Amino acid sequence: MGSSVPSGSETLVVCKAEELPPGQVRKIDAERPIAVFNVDGVFYAIDDTCSHATASLSEGDLEGHTVECPWHVSRFDLRTGKPCSLPASRPVRTHAVEIRDDTVVVLVGTKPEWADAS
């Protein structure tokens, strides 16, 4: 189930960290929806809409640090937002994630430290 936030927000409170266990995803309904993934205890946030079509990436299959688009099987690296396979050729935005008082918080539009790696 998604969380709802006002459009234009720069800091989005997602949930308590314990409510998003490893291997799970949470969709944030905002002006531009965001998907927040827990990969082995590390949280990643990307724009939820595939850059190739309008599919929700939060509905895709998570494998390691990649998510597969449920419509056309493009894969995106959660760390960089870059597509790993066709038909997608444009990256999706990545957002920094912080844990504040055991709460997952997304910093919309702020690149995570690792976004330019790999």
CB of 11 closer than 8 Å to CB of 5 = no
Residue-level pLDDT at 8:
46
Residue-level pLDDT at 111:
84
By three-state DSSP, how is residue 105 classified?
A: strand
Residue-level pLDDT at 28:
95
Residue-level pLDDT at 116:
59
Per-residue pLDDT 10s for the chain (118 aa) are 344 443 444 899 999 999 999 999 999 998 899 999 999 999 999 999 999 988 999 999 999 999 999 999 899 999 999 999 999 999 999 999 999 999 999 999 888 876 655 4
CA distances to 4, 11, 36, 45 from 39, in Å: 23, 21, 10, 11
